[in-house]
Chains A and B, each alone.
Chain A
Amino acid sequence: MISSKKSRVLGLLGLSAAGIVGCSTTTPPRELADARAAYTRAASGPAPQLKPDTLIEAKRTLNTAERAFSQSADDRDVATLGYVAQRRSELADVQARNVMNEQEQAQAENEIQQIAAQRMSQPQPDMSQKLEQAQRAQTDAERRAREALDKLGQVRDEARGTVLTLPGQVMFYVGKATLLPGARQKLNQVADALRDETDHSIMVEGYTDSTGSDQTNEILSQKRADAVRDYLVAHGIKADMIKARGQGKSNPIATNATATGRAMNRRVEIVVENPPSR
């Protein structure tokens, strides 16, 4: 770098000497005219701000060409100096535009990061509001359903969900799967409470006491569960949300050794199931 600068200074001196002995010219060669125009164009563009070093070099090369011309240097030398001077000016202009592009890209990428950071830090206000509303509405619906079920009979919470137990003697004729008039009234209320249920599926389970054969008990408990399910579907519960299952004498809730215990074991349970994700 240092040596090249030194040689340039020496060279400029040498050019002056060479120019003195050159032949005379009156009109500048086309290359010099082009070089002047190219420099003017580069100097009025972004180069003075963004690529001043190359522009200054372009100016120096142009000055050298001008000096060679004014000192009547050989035409060919002036032409070559002018040609290179023109290219230097063009180079300054193109390099400045390159810097400008890089700056614009950096600025745009900065903005992209800012926008991304904003989105990360604050979720969309309207979205969070909607989510909150939906959660509140769901909680309200669950609370109302639970309150309604509480009025109907025994309700308990188990791992699988909320269980409403309906005693068999108020639901069915003895040994049959036909609903009693009082059962219809209760099931109407169950249907009202669970009609809007969309998140929780419902399982209707029929149970018997231990008297009689297993097969009879299972068939009877299945028929009774089906009867309850069909009634609820007929009264507005969505069919794809509710299933029925006969459980026979399994899962007794009281002893089968006493009449009272057997009466308690004959029952229908309506389970509002917890979603698997909870």
Chain B
Amino acid sequence: MKYVGRGTAVLVGILMAGCASFPPPHDRVAASEAAVRSAQELGAREVPQASSYLTLAQDELDKGKAMMRNGDNREAAELLERSRADAEVALAMTRETKTRTAAQEAKARVQALRQGTAPAVGGGPQKPPAPPPPPNPAPPPSP
């Protein structure tokens, strides 16, 4: 929420600055690094989809920092914005995978309890619920 608004603002800020001298985007480096670190700490590397987003974010962060060293601050700022957007999706995907597992486990417990108390009368065993399909956003394009 907050970061989305800020992201747009920052982007627009980049565009406004045009080709004039652009200050080194140290704050964007910090923001991107923080987002990447959060995703890593939550375990994004163990979630294949999230891991590919995290790889993108890390690459963009590294390239952005290299560009800053060459004085290409404007391009660096754009890459860093992409990096943070990627890292935030990686973080959300990791969290979503965890809550999906927790929900499935809770539902399985309900099922087991129900079968324990009330065995199916005049019918076969109750069918376990089909696992929900994993979220399937488009694969991240290469930057």
The residues of A with any CB-CB pair to B shorter than 8 Å are: 1, 4-5, 7-8, 10-12, 14-15, 17-18, 30-31, 34, 37-38, 41, 53-54, 57-58, 60-61, 64, 68, 73-74, 76-77, 80-81, 83-84, 86-88, 90-91, 93-95, 97-98, 101-102, 104-105, 108-109, 111-112, 115-116, 118-119
Contact = CB atoms under 8 A, between A and B. Distances in A.
Contacts of B42: none
Contacts, number: 150
B138 interface: yes
B107 interface: yes
B100 A97 contact: yes
Nearest to A88: B4
B130 interface: no
A94 B96 contact: yes
Contacts of B33: none
A80 B81 contact: yes
A195 to B, nearest CB: 38
Contact of A87 (B14, B75, B85, B113): B85
Given A91-B89, A94-B89, A61 B99 contact: no
Given A101-B102, A112-B106, A80 B11 contact: yes
22 contacts: A7-B13, A8-B12, A11-B12, A12-B12, A15-B12, A18-B16, A34-B141, A38-B138, A53-B1, A57-B5, A60-B8, A83-B143, A84-B8, A87-B89, A90-B138, A91-B89, A98-B96, A101-B96, A101-B99, A108-B103, A111-B110, A115-B113
A14 B4 CA distance: 18
Contacts of B135: 93-94, 97
Contact of A14 (B6, B16, B109): B16
Given A15-B16, A98-B92, A101-B100, A8 B106 contact: no
Interface residue range, chain B: 35 or more
A17 to B, nearest CB: 8
A81 B16 CA distance: 13
Interface in B107-127: 107, 109-110, 113-114, 117
B18 interface: yes
Interface string B83-111: 00110110011011001101100110110
A84 B82 contact: yes
Contact of B8 (A8, A41, A73): A8
A111 B117 CA distance: 13
A211 B95 CA distance: 93
* Top-5 shortest CB links A-B: A11-B12, A108-B106, A57-B4, A101-B99, A87-B85
Given A102-B103, A108-B107, A112-B113, A38 B137 contact: yes
